[in-house]
Structure 1
Amino acid sequence: MGARSRELLLLLAACALVFGESINKTVKKDKDADNLLDQYEDYEPAEYQEVLYNEDRPCPRDCICSVSQGYRQAKCSFLEIGTQKFGDDILDLVVENADPRYPINLDDFMFKKLGLHQVATVKIVNSTIGYIAPNAFHGVHDLYAVNLSNNNLKSLHPETFANNKKLLLLTLSNNPLKFPAAGSENYFLNASSVQELDVSYCNMQYITANTFKNMPGLMYLNVAGNNLSDMDPDTFKKLLDLEELDLSNNHIKSLPDDIFSENTELATLHLLKNPIDTVYGLQISDLLTLNAGQTNIKFVGPSMFNGMGLIANLNLSGNSIEKIHNQAFHKLVELNYLDLSYNNLDYMSSILIKENIELDIFKISNNPRLKHLPVEGFTCSSDQFNIYFFGASDCGLEEIYDNSLKTFSALSIIHLSNNKLTTINNTVFSHCPKLMEINLAYNMLTTLDPKLFAKNNELAKLNLQGNPLKVLSAEIFVHTPAMTWLDMSHAELTSLWKVDKNHPLTVLINLLFLNVSHNRITEIKQNELDNLNKLRTLDITNNPLACSRDFENLMTWLNNHTVLPTGNSANVANMARDGKDDDATYSWDFLTIKTCGTTVISHPVEPLSAVSDEEIWERIDKDTEGNFDLKNTLDDGKIPDDTNASADSKLIIDSTDEESDDVDPDDDEDEGDDDDDEDDSGEDYENDDIDLKYELINKTDSKSENTKKSEQQATEKVKIDIKLLDLYENSEPDVYVRTSTEEEHGHYSYLWPISIAILGALLLLIVIAKVVMMTCKSRTRQLRYNSAIIAAMSQPGRTKKDCGLVYQQLSEDLTGPATPKLSRYAPLHSVTVNASNMSYESSPFHHNNIVPEAV
């Protein structure tokens, strides 16, 4: 017994040991799972995160990772060491609109510690940077561009980018930075590789000779929007590669003559918005673009540009220039852009641009005192200029002479808007056969010569907006087959245009856009638009359009041709219904409702004839027999809507005297006294105040006086007679209406659909009842099975196995598939990537595989 007891004890101890180890393993798995969950609790749910393609690492918190133009990019709202770690393949870092309450501090080796040692571009904008350590960008050897705009950055260590040898683009605009003071030997930054530097709007007061000495590779320098008023003469002497310099919007009154003497590569100089009064003396031999607009230049002398003979683009707009010497631009033989707009010129010499034969764009707009262009045009040292754009808007022009444009044969675009032109001779534009766009908006033109554009076959865009045009002939567009854009809005037109009978059908066949809004047009006929098969946009807002058959035809035509309205608001000035404007989406249906009070009809409407009411009554009076041909009178062969005639009926005019005599005037008098009385033929009378009434009489192929016989023949084709009944000698003729027998029987046609619907409903009820009965039988059978089981189990000595087929049937119905064995604490799956939306899929549980335990 002792040996057996020891063996039993050893067996119990072994079992206890195995059981304890299993418990320890389970606890350990629980702890491991908790640690893994804690590791991922800092990250957002899977649907809000993205994963880099070749990095098995999720995007850091406060960031969104994506691919832009083939580069891996991370957009963040904050940067912080310790809580963020980026993948090695992030090339672009963007931080925008960070919370200003939490300034971003860029510590030493900041980007390397974040895992961004391979980043190529860093953009931190519209945020707040507390400070930038001297070595913040160290270790980032592939850095190409840095943008730190608008961050309230106050200082930057000169050696911040000393080790970034691949840095080319550096933008520091809109930061209150500190720069070396006047007379200081200090430099701003040591960044020899930077080629483009933007320090605009950085509160710079002065530029010393050493400010940019350690940035010799600069090709573009932007110091606009600072408080510069003076500069050292040697400021740019060490920038030998400088190509573009922007000094705009400063307080510079003058520049030293030799300040750019060493900048042989300088091609573009911006002096916009400086109180400088001359550029005379500047020696920039290779300068191509000079932007000297909105300065204090009042006079342009003959030698102002002596040291800049290669200028191609010259902007002198907005300077209030009063005088220009007639030879001021003669030495600028390469000039192809000249802007003299927004000045105060009152005269322009005909030889002003004589030597500028390469000129392409010539702007003199907004010189309201100019009044006139040269009578014989601008003289050219060659035969013709190459000018393709000429702008002379708002110059107070009262007349354009016949030869004012004779040397502009290459002209494509001309702007003459906001002048005082009342007429234009048909020879003005004949010198410019290549014109493609003409702007004559807001002048004083009341009419246009039909042959004004006779030589402008390439004209595609014409703007006549704001002219008091009253009538415009369609003949003016005969010679402009290429016209695609036409604006005649804000005028006084009462119709689109006057159409001549002999005008060709090719007028405006290529027109895409037409604007006739804000006119006095009351009617637009469909035949005025029949040739405009390519029309896609039509603006007819703010016109006193009247509701008519022509209007309905127009709406049908516009809908069928998918022409779009361009009204920005529902301002339809309907004179007949001067209602309030509705804030609704503008459409043709809306215009129709505003004009007619209902939507447009969906089917085409044929136009009404031109027969007046007077002519109709003249024809009636001339017929001594009291009958008239209604089809010839109304011309459209249609019964008015209030006749309620059948759509399948024919309109037949009965001019015989026999049926006219069948009507007894006394019967009409009696029926007028009693509305409920009806004659033997079932005739119904309208009210006495109606002028004309129509008698609709059913006729079979063989006439019969017996009403019963006509009812038996109702299946034959029905004809309708319209008879004019002279009921009283001194009263106006009345026409009475008698409905057809076929029409009466047609009222019972609705019985068939109703009968079919009732039968269908009964059939559906029968099917539902059948289903309910089957369900009840099934439940009864189930109850019977359960009762059998209970009865069998209640007998002594019986078991479940003895219940036979009854128990077996129930077990098959209730038992489901075996539950799969799942480890509740299995490790989390590795994070995978869904290529379609680049979102995280980190959940290890597949709940659709879990089923209840077997019964």
Structure 2
Amino acid sequence: MGAKSRELILLLAVCALAFCESVNKTVKKDSKDSDNFLSQYDEEYDTDDQEVLFNEDKPCPRDCLCAVSQGYRMAKCTRLELITQKFGDDITDLVIENSVIPVELEDFIFKKLGLDKVATIKIVNSTITSVGSNAFHGLHELYAVNLSNNKLKSLHPETFASNKKLLLLTLSNNPLKFPAPGSPDYFLNASSVQELDISYCDMKYIAANTIKNMPGLMYLNLAGNNLSEMEADTFKTLLDLEEIDLSDNNIKSLPDDIFTENTELATLHIQRNPIDSVYGIQIPDLLTLNAGQTNIKFVGPSMFNGMTYIANLNLSGNSIEKIHNQAFHKLVELNYLDLSYNDLDFISSALIKENIELDIFKISNNPKLKHLPMEGFNCSAEQFNIYLFDASNCGLEEVYDDSLKTFTALSQINLSGNKIKSINKHVFSRSPKLVEINLSYNMLTTLEAQTFANNKDLGKLYLQGNPLKVLTAEVFVHTPVLSVLDMSHGDLTALWKVEKTQPTTLLNNLSFLNVSYNRITEIKQTELDTLNKLRSLDISNNPLTCSREFENLMTWLSKRKVSPKENSAIIANLGKDTKEDDGSYSWEFLSQITCGTAMKHNIEPLPTVSDEEIWERIDKDAEGNFDLKDTLDDGKIADDTKDNEKDYDDETADDIDDDEDDDEDEDKDESGEEYDEDDNVDLKVKLIEKPPKNSLEPKPTAATDPKEKVKIDIKLLENDHMYDDLEPEVYVQAQEGKAEHGHYDYLWPMLIAILGALLLLIVIAKVMMMVCSRRNKQVRYNSAIIAAMSQPGRTKKDCGLVYQQLSEDLTSPATPKLNRYAPLHSVTVKASNMSYESSPFHHSNIVPEAV
């Protein structure tokens, strides 16, 4: 083997020398023409297609993290200092957040920092002491600036005059200074800006001159500025204005013609203002009006005559007491109507008669309402397209059979938090497309079997918080696709009554079942057999009792990998604070705290031996002679096992020495006639483990023999045969290990020899590569000097600089190609809204809040 290894090493060495020589010849050939060499070098390393993050001269500055996000170069820093920082010219997004050191934006600061090509600048939650009038000068690719929440007091009117691509400007939450009333001054000269956010900036007054040099505005946010009154010509220069937010101010009224020039205005937010009416306001093309939480008390028949194309109307939280039955008749395009959180005590059946395009109708949290129209809501087209109806927390005592008769397209209904005592089978029969029904926290004690007979598509049913005492499984026969069922916080004593004729497909698609906080004492596996897709079952906080049915259920749930409630809930029958339990809530935990022991193995029903007979045998053999295997196998034990037990008893009676027992057992093991090899290996592994404590195991007494204790443990663990002692097994195992070791006597020497040869080859190859590399570098260095010296005016002392430049170009990155108009990473500064505000409208484009 040594001779062959030497021949192999010599062969590899010759090959390495040949390869190195060929490389040198190639380099020598290329170095004959230095100009060609340099041109090839430039083409290979200086192309713009090479995407490198930073170059050697401008690495990521201190206190910054530089990264590539969706193909754009971002620098995220905690400070901005001109002296200590320098950015690479490939940075497109600059983010400064939570800077402890005050930021001073002097003239040309971003150009001095190397941020000539920056597209977005975000400096938030810091302190900006000053902003020079030319701070952003020269940033021709800049399209978004966010300077919110920086204690910024003033801006020069011409700060952004040279940024012709600037579209998004956010200055919210700064105590800015604005032009005084009647002053000819303007706030900013930024004709390209389309979205301006100056919310919560302590603006007391706004006039037309304030924003006259920003004619391209499409979105204007003036929320939270304590504005009170406005002049009629305030927004007349904003001909492209599409959305304006005046919420959270002190506006008591708006001039009728304030928006007459804004023909593109589609969205108006005036919520949380002490305004009492929008009567007379003329906005012909308005689509969305958010007038929640104002002082509107009464909605008359002509309040919206100047806004007849409204599609989304929010009047929630206004303490409205009365609505004229024709108040919305002219709003024929209405899709969304929110009347929640008001003081309505009556709702007319003709209220939405002409709103045949209505999709969402909310009247929730009107606690004085008590009743829905008995004959239902009238519709000029016979049937509505409403798919969501919310009448929760309205004090409803009853839902009439025809209350929903015109809501045939209904897919989601919320009747929670009312006082409904019963649901007639005809209530939901008119809405066959229902996929979600919420009846939680009412006063239902039972449900009729045909309640959901016509709701074949029902997927979610919420019944929690009702004093339900009993349910029949027939209720769910008509809901084959039901996936979520919540019956928690009730008075159930059982899941449901199982009928003999119930279909095998009952709740076949149910994946989540919650029956926690009831009075259930027993849950049978047969009640859940048809729940093939069950993934989560919450049975916590029930007075569960330990029984064979309960243990079988725990085993069944574990096999199905059904998840319990993931917390340490209190089981009602324990009288124990589960805060003392460190373990997470699981079926094992539930079994342990219910039955007193953790579940150890699968428990199956006994087909041939009754429970009485088993416990009889346990009581009979209470002194340690009880053989659990005999009981589980119903007394059927192999003949050879009985013979072994007899031999053991005879040997014990004759006082045979332990050494003689070991010899005899060893002879039996070596003969191979008494057991199978695979069974023996399995037995050895189990014998080494400490037998677990079993609740069914009889307590040892003073007269119990330790050997008999070991014997019983072995019988519990083995499969087919019995063995008396542990020592013979260990001896056989050692003998087998020694026999197997003989087959591999020559393996380790062979492996060591092979690994040594490979290591030597690697060392030789490494040496050859180093030699080749040095010769290659020398050739390149000489070529570079030749090229440099051939240029006019170059002297010998410059040769070192030429080589330095080449080495830098080898590792320096190229400037990437960028899309300057990609979305900016967002930061949001929002005002606190009331929790019951349920309007779904918001600025759907790029909001300056999200710059």
TM-score, reference length from structure 2 = 0.70
Q: Which residue of 1 aligns with 2:98?
A: 97
Give 1:765 shift.
14
Contact 2:131 2:155 in 1 (8 A): yes
Q: Does 1:501 align with 2:484?
A: no
Separation of aligned partners in 2, 1:61 and 1:469: 65
Q: Which amino acid aligns with 2:96?
A: V
Q: Does 1:644 align with 2:627?
A: yes
Q: Which residue of 2 aligns with 1:86?
A: 87
Q: Which residue of 1 aligns with 2:21?
A: none
Q: Which amino acid aligns with 2:724?
A: Y
Instruction: Tell me which moved more, 599-608 or 172-181.
Output: 599-608
Separation of aligned partners in 2, 1:285 and 1:337: 18
Measured against aligned partners, the alpha-carbon deviations of 1:639-693 in whole angstroms (never above 9, x if no partner) come to 999832446985359xxxxxxxxxxxxxxxxxxxxxxxxx99999xxxxxxxxxx
Q: Which amino acid aligns with 2:279?
A: Y
Q: Which residue of 2 aligns with 1:248?
A: 247
Q: Which residue of 2 aligns with 1:489?
A: 488
Q: Which amino acid aligns with 1:380?
A: C
Separation of aligned partners in 2, 1:610 and 1:426: 48
Q: Which residue of 2 aligns with 1:532?
A: 531
Q: Which residue of 2 aligns with 1:361?
A: 360
Measured against aligned partners, the alpha-carbon deviations of 1:490-540 in whole angstroms (never above 9, x if no partner) come to 111111111111010111100111111111111111111111111111111
Which of 562, 569, 576 is equivalent to 1:571? 569
- Larger radius of gyration, structure 1 or 2? 1
Separation of aligned partners in 1, 2:147 and 2:334: 38
SS at match of 1:210: helix
Give 1:598 shift.
2.3
Residue 607 and residue 501 in structure 1: after superposition, are their counterparts in 2 closer, same or farther (change >3 A)? farther
Separation of aligned partners in 1, 2:376 and 2:242: 38
Q: Which residue of 2 aligns with 1:846?
A: none
Residue 425 and residue 265 in structure 1: after superposition, are their counterparts in 2 closer, same or farther (change >3 A)? same
Contact 1:203 1:226 in 2 (8 A): yes
Residue 580 and residue 91 in structure 1: after superposition, are their counterparts in 2 closer, same or farther (change >3 A)? closer
- Runs (5+) with no aligned partner, structure 1: 1-49, 614-629, 654-678, 684-713, 717-736, 767-816, 836-855
Q: Which residue of 1 aligns with 2:222?
A: 223
Q: Which amino acid aligns with 1:443?
A: N
What CA RMSD, in Å, does the superposition of the two structures yield over aligned residues? 3.7
Give 1:551 shift.
1.4
Separation of aligned partners in 1, 2:155 and 2:380: 57
Contact 2:574 2:593 in 1 (8 A): no
Contact 2:336 2:358 in 1 (8 A): yes
Measured against aligned partners, the alpha-carbon deviations of 1:709-745 in whole angstroms (never above 9, x if no partner) come to xxxxx989xxxxxxxxxxxxxxxxxxxx9999x9899
Separation of aligned partners in 1, 2:109 and 2:584: 54
Alignment map for 1:322-471 (pairs within 5 Å): 322-471=321-470
Residue 377 and residue 648 in structure 1: after superposition, are their counterparts in 2 closer, same or farther (change >3 A)? closer
Q: Which residue of 1 aligns with 2:273?
A: 274
Q: Which residue of 1 aligns with 2:262?
A: 263
Measured against aligned partners, the alpha-carbon deviations of 1:290-337 in whole angstroms (never above 9, x if no partner) come to 000000000000000000000000000000000000000000000010
SS at match of 2:208: coil
Q: Does 1:192 align with 2:191?
A: yes
Q: Which residue of 2 aligns with 1:586?
A: 585
Q: Which amino acid aligns with 1:67?
A: V
Give 1:833 shift.
7.5
SS at match of 2:429: helix
Residue 51 and residue 176 in structure 1: after superposition, are their counterparts in 2 closer, same or farther (change >3 A)? farther
Separation of aligned partners in 1, 2:741 and 2:555: 48
SS at match of 2:437: strand
Contact 1:220 1:243 in 2 (8 A): yes
Contact 2:88 2:114 in 1 (8 A): yes
Instruction: Tell me which moved more, 516-525 or 398-407.
Output: 516-525
Separation of aligned partners in 2, 1:85 and 1:649: 80
SS at match of 1:64: strand
Contact 2:265 2:285 in 1 (8 A): yes
Separation of aligned partners in 1, 2:577 and 2:607: 28
Q: Which residue of 1 aligns with 2:730?
A: 754
Separation of aligned partners in 2, 1:111 and 1:834: 23
Contact 1:574 1:595 in 2 (8 A): no
Separation of aligned partners in 2, 1:77 and 1:400: 60
Residue 55 and residue 222 in structure 1: after superposition, are their counterparts in 2 closer, same or farther (change >3 A)? farther
Separation of aligned partners in 2, 1:319 and 1:410: 29
Alignment map for 1:282-293 (pairs within 5 Å): 282-293=281-292
Contact 2:56 2:808 in 1 (8 A): no
Q: Does 1:295 align with 2:297?
A: no
SS at match of 1:564: coil
Q: Which amino acid aligns with 2:85?
A: Q
Give 1:470 shift.
0.9
Residue 750 and residue 315 in structure 1: after superposition, are their counterparts in 2 closer, same or farther (change >3 A)? same
Q: Which residue of 1 aligns with 2:59?
A: 58
SS at match of 1:591: helix
Residue 265 and residue 642 in structure 1: after superposition, are their counterparts in 2 closer, same or farther (change >3 A)? farther
Separation of aligned partners in 2, 1:478 and 1:764: 64
Give 1:227 shift.
1.0
Separation of aligned partners in 1, 2:385 and 2:176: 48
SS at match of 1:429: coil
Residue 763 and residue 126 in structure 1: after superposition, are their counterparts in 2 closer, same or farther (change >3 A)? same
Residue 585 and residue 827 in structure 1: after superposition, are their counterparts in 2 closer, same or farther (change >3 A)? farther
Give 1:560 shift.
1.1
SS at match of 1:554: helix
Q: Which residue of 1 aligns with 2:6?
A: none
Measured against aligned partners, the alpha-carbon deviations of 1:421-469 in whole angstroms (never above 9, x if no partner) come to 0001000000000000000000000000011000000000000010001
Specify which structure has the higher proportion of helix: 2
Q: Which amino acid aligns with 2:335?
A: N
Separation of aligned partners in 2, 1:86 and 1:272: 44
Q: Which amino acid aligns with 1:644?
A: D
Separation of aligned partners in 2, 1:418 and 1:649: 54
Q: Which amino acid aligns with 1:96?
A: E
Give 1:278 shift.
0.3
Q: Which residue of 2 aligns with 1:23?
A: none
Give 1:86 shift.
1.4
Percent pairwise identity: 65
SS at match of 2:634: strand
Q: Which amino acid aligns with 2:484?
A: W
Separation of aligned partners in 2, 1:152 and 1:831: 44
Relative contact order (C-alpha < 8 Å, sep 6+): which is higher?
2
SS at match of 1:174: coil
SS at match of 1:221: strand
Contact 2:151 2:174 in 1 (8 A): yes
Q: Which amino acid aligns with 2:449?
A: P
Separation of aligned partners in 1, 2:560 and 2:250: 59
Residue 608 and residue 472 in structure 1: after superposition, are their counterparts in 2 closer, same or farther (change >3 A)? farther
Q: Which amino acid aligns with 2:78?
A: S
Measured against aligned partners, the alpha-carbon deviations of 1:375-422 in whole angstroms (never above 9, x if no partner) come to 010000011000000000000000000000000000000000000000
Give 1:761 shift.
10
Separation of aligned partners in 2, 1:251 and 1:142: 39
The number of residues matched between the two structures is: 641
Give 1:759 shift.
5.9
Instruction: Tell me which moved more, 594-603 or 146-155.
Output: 594-603
Separation of aligned partners in 1, 2:161 and 2:539: 65
Separation of aligned partners in 2, 1:436 and 1:762: 69
Q: Which residue of 2 aligns with 1:127?
A: 126
SS at match of 1:514: strand
